[in-house]
C-alpha cells in the first residue's frame, strides 16, 4: 500500500508545461513568485498545483458604436492581437484568473474606441498595466450610420453626375470646334475655287483679246477672204457685190442659163 501511494505521489511530483504556455505555481492555493517554464518541473505533491497560462499571440474582438470628430455615428468591430507577458503570468492569474479577456481586454477596447477610435497607443497603455502586451489593433468591420452612408452615396453620385456632365460639355465643345474647323475649311476651299475660276476666266479673256488684237493687226483682204472661205458652208449667197456699187442676183443667172 505504501508503495502504491509512493508511486502516485512520485507521478504527481512532476508537471509538464507545453510549448507556448507558462505555469503558475500554487502552494495551498497561494500564488508563488516562481513561474514554471516549458517542459518538466518538480513540485510538491498535494501541497502544490500548477495553472497553465497561454503566452502565445491571441485575438479578442469587440463591436462598439462611437462618434467621429464631426459627430457622425460609426459602428466598428475592433480586433486586438495580444499576448500575456511570460514573466508576469503569476500576477495576471492572481488578479484576473483566466478571465483576462472578458474582464480587462474587451472593456478597454470599448473605452479606447469611444475615446479615439481605437488608437493603438491608448489600448497599449491601458493593458500594459495588467501585464498584457498589445501586438496589433485593427478595424475588421467599420460602418457608418445608414443616414450618413446615404449622404456619402448621394455626394458620390452627384460628383459622378457632375463629372459626366462636364465630360459631355467637353464633347459638345469639341464637336462644335470640329464643325467650325470643317466649315472654315469648306469656305476656304470655295474661295480658292472661285479665285481659281476667276483667274482662269481672266486668263482666257486676256488670251482671246490678245488673239483678236493679233489677228486685227495682221488682217489683209486676202487673209479676210481666207477666213471667209474656211467658214463657208458651200452655199452661194443670193447677191454679191453689195457695198461695191453693183449687185448681181446669182439666182437669176443660174435660172436663166437653164
Residue-range domain boundaries for the chain: 2-54, 58-144, 146-220
- Output the pLDDT for position 54: 97
For helices 120-128 and 106-116, angle between their N-to-C axes, nearest 10 degrees: 140
- Output the pLDDT for position 253: 47
Rounded Cα–Cα distance for residues 84 and 54 (Å) = 7
Per-residue pLDDT of 80-96, as tens digits, reads: 999 999 999 999 999 99
Which parts of the chain have pLDDT scores under 50? 117-118, 243-248, 250, 253, 256-258
Cell digits of residue 22: 507558462
- Output the pLDDT for position 7: 59
CATH code of the domain occupying 58-144: 3.30.479
- Output the pLDDT for position 44: 92
| CA distances to 37, 43, 47, 132 from 30, in Å | 18, 14, 10, 22
Cell digits of residue 209: 483679246
- Output the pLDDT for position 182: 83
- Output the pLDDT for position 258: 46
| Paired residues of 67 in beta bridges | 73
- Output the pLDDT for position 203: 79
CA 249 to chain centre: 105
Rounded Cα–Cα distance for residues 66 and 203 (Å) = 92
Amino acid at each position: 500500500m505504501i508503495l502504491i501511494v509512493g508511486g502516485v505521489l512520485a507521478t504527481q511530483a512532476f508537471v509538464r508545461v507545453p510549448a507556448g504556455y507558462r505555469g503558475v505555481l500554487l502552494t495551498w492555493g497561494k500564488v508563488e513568485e516562481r513561474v514554471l517554464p516549458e517542459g518538466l518541473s518538480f513540485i510538491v505533491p498535494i501541497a502544490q498545483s500548477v495553472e497553465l497560462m497561454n503566452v502565445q499571440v491571441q485575438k479578442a474582438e469587440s463591436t462598439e458604436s462611437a462618434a467621429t470628430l464631426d459627430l457622425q455615428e460609426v459602428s466598428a468591430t475592433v480586433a486586438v492581437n495580444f499576448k500575456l507577458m511570460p514573466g508576469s503570468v503569476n500576477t495576471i492569474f492572481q488578479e484576473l484568473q483566466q478571465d483576462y479577456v472578458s474582464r480587462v481586454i474587451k472593456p478597454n477596447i470599448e473605452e479606447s474606441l469611444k475615446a479615439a477610435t481605437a488608437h493603438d497607443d491608448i489600448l497599449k497603455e491601458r493593458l500594459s498595466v495588467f501585464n498584457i502586451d498589445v501586438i496589433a489593433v485593427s478595424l475588421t468591420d467599420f460602418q457608418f450610420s445608414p443616414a450618413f452612408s446615404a449622404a456619402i452615396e448621394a455626394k458620390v453620385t452627384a460628383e459622378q453626375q457632375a463629372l459626366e456632365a462636364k465630360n459631355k460639355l467637353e464633347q459638345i465643345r469639341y464637336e462644335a470646334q470640329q464643325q467650325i474647323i470643317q466649315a472654315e475649311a469648306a469656305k476656304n476651299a470655295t474661295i480658292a475655287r472661285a479665285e481659281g475660276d476667276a483667274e482662269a476666266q481672266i486668263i482666257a479673256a486676256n488670251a482671246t483679246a490678245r488673239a483678236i488684237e493679233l489677228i486685227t493687226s495682221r488682217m489683209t483682204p486676202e487673209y479676210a477672204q481666207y477666213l471667209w472661205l474656211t467658214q463657208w458652208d458651200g452655199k452661194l449667197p443670193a447677191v454679191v457685190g453689195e457695198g461695191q456699187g453693183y449687185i448681181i442676183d446669182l439666182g437669176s443667172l443660174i435660172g436663166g442659163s437653164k
